[in-house]
Amino acid sequence: MSEDVWILGINMTKFGKHPDKDTVDLAAEAARAALADGGVAMRDMGILAAGNLMSGPMGIGQQIQKQIGQTGIPVYNVSNACATGATALRTAIMAIKAGEADYGLAVGVEKLSGAGMLAGGSRQEEETFTPHGRYGAVAPVDGRIGTEIMPGVFAQVGMEYLYEHKYGGAAFELFAKISEKNHSHSTLNPLAAYSKLMTLEQIMGDIMIAYPNTRPMCSANCDGAAAAVVVSDAKLKTLSKEQRRRAVKVSASVLTSDPWEEGCQVLPDVNTLTRNAASQAYEQAGVGPDDLDLVELHDCFATAELVHYDNLMLCEPGGAVDFFQSGATWRDGSMPVNVSGGLESKGHPIAATGIANIWEVCQHLRGEGGDRQIADAKVGLAHVIGLGSACGVHILEKSAA
């Protein structure tokens, strides 16, 4: 059960609009590319875990098999909010650790271009609101006494952090500067949905979605897929020198959900389960935040990125604003965050994001990051969080081969 697991092959499609491809097309493209990247074939895989949340057919894993090879292996279809891709990968990792397979394939895919605002739902207008049913005390009050729409939730999360830690001043400009960083990073990522440089003035002057997040400060709904091949340590030792050199060690794979807290009965708590996941991951990997060379975190909104600096312990408790303002999180800073451009510009095809974040970290650990390469990167962290809630954290290390 303690055997190391490695990422042998990994790939992602270009994120954006793909009107000529459906979810199965995109997933098959990413899966074939990941297999080719690892120098293996579908016939080698002992397990397939496939993630899709909103846009694919039932049994997405079996549908992918029809395109890339039906070999009779177990297929797990995964749905876990924005942590779906990371959960699919963790499913394959656990199968290898359990000794059930030498190789596993994980895929995440979504088609969301043109989807508009997600999770907004609708409400029936009535003069008097009467709660009823399991969700009657929550969902129907949206827009009346609060919101469960994602931009509103994360707007509150960001502002709550500022007030809690007694930061005054220009909150709007602070969060816009985080978005400015990520849009700048995206100009070096050819697979990003948007790779356009945006000035602070353009970001602040765009359409306000939920204060303090304007449109460029929100994750971009788009189409895309990502896939990864994982392999046991014993099997990796039998492979070629080049495969061993490019393999990336999964030093930690952690998935958490919400513990009970009074506060999270009112507002989704993105903080506690992320801190718990990060603590477990650092302990599992035997590293600390100071050992990280880069981080890909779940910036579904600019406000989310700020609070996750603290949740992932990249800064002193309560010190996220000072940490960001130090310049640490820029590509040339001491702790580069979202060098890919993040969800705000790389894009956020929900079920693909968890693996796509890991793909970005792998690029740098392999020294294959191109113009955005973080020099001499050896250790990286990938993080996703889905409300409901689920948080996935993976710590990855460069091969010593």
| Residue 390 contacts residue 91 (beta carbons within 8 Å) | no
* pLDDT tens, residue order, the chain (401 aa): 458 999 999 999 999 999 999 999 999 999 999 999 999 999 999 999 999 998 888 899 999 999 999 999 999 999 999 999 999 999 999 999 999 999 999 999 999 987 665 543 334 444 565 666 655 555 555 555 567 778 888 998 999 899 888 786 679 999 999 999 999 999 999 999 999 999 999 999 999 999 999 999 999 899 999 999 999 999 999 999 999 999 999 999 999 999 988 877 767 789 999 999 999 999 999 999 999 999 999 999 999 999 999 999 999 999 999 999 999 999 999 999 999 999 999 999 999 999 999 999 999 999 999 999 999 999 999 999 998 899 999 999 999 87
Query: Is 145 domain-assigned?
Result: no
**Considering its fold, how many domains does the chain have in total?**
1
Give yes or no for a contact between 226 and 49, defined as CB atoms under 8 angstroms apart.
Answer: no
pLDDT reported for residue 145: 57
- In this prediction the pTM is 0.92
Could you tell me how far CA 373 lies from the centroid of its own chain?
19
Task: Tell me what pLDDT residue 127 has.
Answer: 58
DSSP string covering 274-306: HHHHHHHHHHHHT--GGG-SEEE---SBHHHHH
Q: What is the domain range of residue 341?
A: 5-114+220-398
The span from the first CA to the last CA of the chain, in angstroms, equals: 23
Choose among 39, 190, 42, 43: nearest CA to 107: 42
Q: Is residue 171 part of a domain?
A: no
In this structure, how many other beta carbons lie within 10 angstroms of the beta carbon of residue 78? Answer: 25
Asked if the structure places residue 348 within a domain, the reply is yes
In a domain, residue 174? The reply is no
Asked, for residue 201, whether it belongs to a domain, the answer is: no
Q: Is residue 224 part of a domain?
A: yes
> In this structure, is residue 71 part of a structural domain?
yes
CATH number, domain with residue 301? 3.40.47.10
- CB-count burial class (<10 Å; 0-12, 13-18, 19+) for 45: buried
- Is position 40 within any domain? yes
DSSP 238-270: TS-HHHHHH-EEEEEEEEEEPPP-SGGGTS--T
Q: Count of CB atoms within 10 A of residue 29's CB?
A: 22
